[in-house]
Structure 1
């Protein structure tokens, strides 16, 4: 499993909240969240919409990237959603 390609994703709740997560299968993880079997933070939040996802490399890199994105302000996360960069690792992890 260590060779799996990981992805970072952002979901928007019905109230506009953005949730950041990582997974090896974005479609499967979104289905889990929508079925109420994902993160507790998303349970009961209504319809979930996938608004951003990108490749994040291996699990270690994905975890670091997830941490960096979770530290961003809502405005900065909204910019990611608008800009839809293909790779975030060069933006956040090359420093």
Structure 2
């Protein structure tokens, strides 16, 4: 069985210093959705968003694990956003 290494974990940043962590197969297309108000409810009306960090590729399961880890660890999220 072949693992689908097509998933990326990304961190978005807004001018108000708000961050959002998500996963997508195409982070650039997902950013466009977030900025158009079609993304996650959390990102609507808080943009414009920019990608400030991206990791991958991962399997879907690994991307979900990494997303959860980054979301739960605020210090890690800040450190990744600084890079």
TM-score by length of 2: 0.88
CA-based RMSD of the aligned residues comes to 1.4
Q: Distance in 1 between matches of 2:35 and 2:67?
A: 20
Partner of 1:76: 76
Q: Distance in 2 between matches of 1:43 and 1:4?
A: 29
Taking CA–CA contacts closer than 8 Å with sequence separation of 6 or more, which of the two structures ends up with the larger relative contact order? 2
Gaps of 5+ in 2: none
Where has structure 1 moved over 6 Å in runs of 4 or more?
none
TM-score by length of 1: 0.78
Partner of 1:15: 16
Gaps of 5+ in 1: 84-95
Count matched residues. 81
